[in-house]
C-alpha cells in the first residue's frame, strides 16, 4: 500500500494505491489516519482510484477510523470507488453510512457545505 497525502481546501486527501488488506496496507493506513488526527486534521477524503483490492480487514479499518473521526467532530468520505470495492462496501452496508463520490470537487465541497 502506498499513500500520498495532499490537502485541498483544508481537506486531507489520501490517494491510496495497492491493496487495503490484512497485514498488507491496513497498518500503514491506520498510522497515516492517526497521524492526521494528531495534527488536527479531521476532514479526510480517501481516494480509492488506485486501490486494487479491498478485503474485510480493509473495510474494518475504514469503518474504525470513520467512527474515530466522527467522535471528534470530523468526517471520513470516499472517492473513486472501483466496482469491486464498491460491491464489498455495498454488501457490508457501509455505503449506507459513509458518503462516496465520483468527483473530487464535489467530495471536497461536501465537507464545507455540511460543516464536516
Instruction: Give residue 73's domain range.
Output: 2-113
Q: How many domains does the chain have?
A: 1
CATH number at residue 93: 3.30.750.24
Residues in CB range of 23: below 8 A, 6 or more apart? 57
Helix (H) or strand (E) run with residue 69 in it: helix 56-71
| Residue among 67, 68, 55 at smallest CA distance from 26 | 55
* Beta bridge partners of residue 101, listed in sequence order: 79
- pLDDT tens-digit series, residues 4-47: 999 999 999 999 999 988 777 678 899 999 999 999 999 999 99
Do the bridges between strand 11-20 and strand 2-8 make them parallel or antiparallel, or are there none, so unpaired? antiparallel
Cell of 55: 478485503
Give yes or no for residue 116 having a pLDDT over 60: no
| Residue among 10, 16, 6, 33 at smallest CA distance from 80 | 16
- pLDDT tens-digit series, residues 43-84: 999 999 999 988 888 889 999 999 999 999 999 999 999 888
Q: How far apart are CA 48 and CA 79, in angstroms?
A: 6
Amino acid at each position: 500500500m502506498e499513500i500520498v497525502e495532499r490537502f485541498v481546501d483544508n481537506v486531507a486527501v489520501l490517494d491510496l494505491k495497492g491493496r487495503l488488506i490484512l497485514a498488507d496496507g491496513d497498518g500503514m493506513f491506520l498510522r497515516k489516519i492517526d497521524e492526521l488526527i494528531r495534527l488536527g486534521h479531521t476532514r479526510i477524503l480517501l481516494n480509492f482510484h488506485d486501490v486494487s483490492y479491498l478485503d474485510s480487514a480493509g473495510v474494518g479499518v475504514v469503518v474504525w477510523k470513520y467512527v474515530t473521526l466522527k467522535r471528534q467532530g470530523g468526517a471520513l468520505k470516499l472517492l473513486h470507488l472501483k466496482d469491486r470495492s464498491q460491491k464489498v462496501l455495498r454488501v457490508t452496508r457501509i455505503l449506507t453510512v459513509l458518503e462516496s463520490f465520483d468527483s473530487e470537487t464535489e467530495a471536497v465541497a461536501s465537507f464545507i457545505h455540511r460543516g464536516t
